[in-house]
C-alpha cells in the first residue's frame, strides 16, 4: 500500500494518468487531503468505483490526538499525537507577535544524545514520514483553529538525520496547491550534522538554518553534545560559512545557557568570534530544566553579562521569550511522561 499523503500533486497526476483517470481527479484528491480528510469515502466528488480502486492501492495516514494541553499563561498549545503505528510525537503551537508558529517533531525519539535534552533519553525509535510531518502541521491547525503561518523543525528528533523525508515534507507543505507555507517562514534546526550542510545548501531553499551551537569550543561542546565528537567546532563553523556563501541566507545560532557550563566570558568571546565569521544571529535561551539532568539554567546576571559581551563585539543577540512553561512545552517532555506510564 502506498502512502498517498506523502505524494506531491505532480506525482498524483502521473499516478492517475497511469490508472487511466483524468488529471483533474488528482487535483480533487490533493484538495481533500489538504482539507484533512482521512478516508476516501469522504471524497464525495469522486465516482464510487474510483474510491474503491484507490482504497485498494493507497492508505491515508492520520494522527489521533492523545493529549492536548493549553497554557494559561500565553495560550501555547501542546499536542501529543498518536502515529498510525502507535508511536507518539509532540507538536507545539505558539503565538508570536510575527505570527502563529507550529513546532514539529521529525523523528520518534532521537539518537544525538545531547546531555541537556529530554528527547534523546530513550534513543531513536524511527524517523517520521513526510505525511506524518505534514499531518502535524495540518491537524494542529484544524484542531486548534489557529491559522498556522510559520513552522520550526525544533521538536523531537534531528531533521538532518531524516534528510530525504524532511525535504519531501518541505516540498509538500510549501506547495501552492497545498498548505502553501512560504520557505521564508520555515526554520530547520540541527545539532550540526555537517556532512549534510552542502547537500542542503544545494537545494537553495529560502528557509532559515538554525544551528544548535550551545558551546563555542570543542572541550565544552563535545561534553554536552556527542554530535561534536569526530566533527568539531571548526568543521561546523566552516560548514556554516559555506552554507551562507552558497544560499545567501543568514544562519542563526541557538545557545541554551547552562549554569557554570557554557556561560562564562571566555565562552561569550569565542562565540562572538564565530558569529561574526558567519554573520550569524545568536538566540540565547535559558535552559529548560529537565528532570533527569544535572544541568541548571544560567543565572539572569550571567545571561545579561554574556549578552553584553556579544553586543559589544557587534553581534546581534536576543534572549528568546519562554512560552508554555506551565505545560512542559519544551521538547520531549510529554512523550517521555507517556512512555513512563
> Could you tell me whether strands 150-153 and 186-190 are parallel, antiparallel, or unpaired per DSSP bridges?
parallel
228 binds ligand SAH (CB under 6 A): no
Asked if residue 154 binds ligand SAH (CB under 6 A), the reply is yes
Q: Within 134-153, which residues bind ligand SAH (CB under 6 A)?
A: none
Whole-number Å distance between alpha carbons of 191 and 167: 17
CB 296 within 8 A of CB 288: no
From the number of C-beta atoms within 10 Å of its C-beta (0-12, 13-18, 19+), residue 94 rates as: buried
- Spatial CB neighbours of 63, under 8 Å, sequence gap ≥ 6: 81, 82, 83, 132, 135, 136, 139
Taking the least distance from each CB to ligand SAH, the nearer of 83 and 110 is 110
Q: Which of 13, 90, 132, 136 is catalytic?
A: 90
240 is catalytic: no
By CB under 6 A, the residues from 93 to 112 that bind ligand SAH are: 112
Query: Minimal distance in Å, beta carbon 191 to ligand SAH?
Result: 3
Is there a catalytic annotation at residue 90? yes
Q: Minimum CB separation from ligand SAH for residue 9, in Å?
A: 29
Which three three-digit cell numbers place residue 282? 545568536
The correct pick among 30, 32, 40, 116 for binding ligand SAH (CB under 6 A) is 116
Specify the residue, 134 or 284, whose C-beta has the smaller distance to ligand SAH. Answer: 284
Q: Say whether residue 133 binds ligand SAH (CB under 6 A).
A: no
- Contact between 296 and 329 under an 8 Å Cβ cutoff? The reply is no
Closest CA to 162 of 174, 152, 172, 170: 170
In this complex, which beta carbon is closest to ligand SAH, that of residue 228 or of residue 288? 288
Of residues 191, 200, 215, 303, which one binds ligand SAH by CB under 6 A?
A: 191
Q: Does 91 bind ligand SAH (CB under 6 A)?
A: no
> What is the spatial distance between Cα 328 and Cα 43, in angstroms, rounded to a whole number?
38
Say whether residue 209 binds ligand SAH (CB under 6 A): no
Distance CA 149, CA 120 (A): 28
Residues that bind ligand SAH (CB under 6 A): 112, 114, 116-117, 154, 158, 189-191, 212, 254, 256, 285, 287-288, 290, 330-331
Give the catalytic positions in this structure: 90, 331
Amino acid at each position: 500500500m502506498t502512502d498517498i499523503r506523502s505524494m506531491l500533486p505532480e506525482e498524483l497526476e502521473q499516478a492517475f494518468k497511469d490508472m487511466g483517470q483524468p488529471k483533474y481527479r488528482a487535483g480533487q484528491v490533493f484538495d481533500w487531503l489538504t482539507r484533512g480528510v482521512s478516508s476516501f469515502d469522504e471524497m464525495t466528488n469522486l465516482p464510487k468505483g474510483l474510491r474503491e480502486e484507490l482504497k485498494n492501492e493507497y492508505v491515508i495516514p492520520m494522527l489521533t490526538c492523545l493529549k492536548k494541553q493549553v497554557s494559561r499563561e500565553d495560550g501555547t498549545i501542546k499536542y501529543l499525537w498518536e502515529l498510525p503505528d502507535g508511536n507518539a510525537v509532540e507538536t507545539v503551537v505558539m503565538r508570536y507577535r510575527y505570527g502563529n508558529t507550529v513546532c514539529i517533531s521529525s523523528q520518534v525519539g532521537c539518537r544525538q544524545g545531547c546531555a541537556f535534552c529530554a528527547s534523546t533519553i530513550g534513543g531513536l525509535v524511527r524517523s517520521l514520514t513526510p505525511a506524518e510531518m505534514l499531518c502535524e502541521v495540518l491537524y494542529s491547525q484544524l484542531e486548534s483553529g489557529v491559522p498556522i503561518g510559520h513552522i520550526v523543525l525544533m521538536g523531537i528528533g534531528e531533521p538532518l538525520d531524516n534528510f530525504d523525508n524532511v525535504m519531501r515534507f518541505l516540498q509538500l507543505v510549501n506547495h501552492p496547491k497545498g498548505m502553501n507555507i512560504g520557505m521564508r517562514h520555515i526554520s530547520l534546526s540541527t545539532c550540526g550534522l555537517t556532512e549534510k550542510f552542502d547537500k542542503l545548501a544545494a537545494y537553495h531553499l529560502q528557509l532559515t538554518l538554525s544551528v544548535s551551537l550551545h558551546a563555542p569550543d570543542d572541550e565544552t561542546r563535545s561534553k554536552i553534545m556527542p554530535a561534536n565528537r569526530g566533527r568539531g567546532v571548526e568543521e561546523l563553523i566552516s560548514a556554516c560559512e559555506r552554507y551562507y556563501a552558497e544560499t545567501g541566507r543568514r544562519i542563526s545560532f541557538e545557545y541554551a545557557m547552562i549554569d557554570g557550563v557554557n556561560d562564562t566570558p571566555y565562552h561569550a568571546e569565542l562565540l562572538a568570534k564565530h558569529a561574526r565569521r558567519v554573520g550569524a544571529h545568536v538566540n540565547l535561551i535559558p535552559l529548560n530544566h529537565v528532570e533527569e539532568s544535572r544541568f541548571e539554567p544560567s543565572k539572569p546576571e550571567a545571561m545579561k553579562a554574556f549578552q553584553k559581551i556579544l553586543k559589544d563585539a557587534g553581534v546581534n543577540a536576543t534572549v528568546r521569550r519562554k512560552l508554555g512553561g506551565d505545560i512542559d512545552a519544551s521538547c520531549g517532555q510529554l512523550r517521555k511522561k507517556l512512555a513512563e506510564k
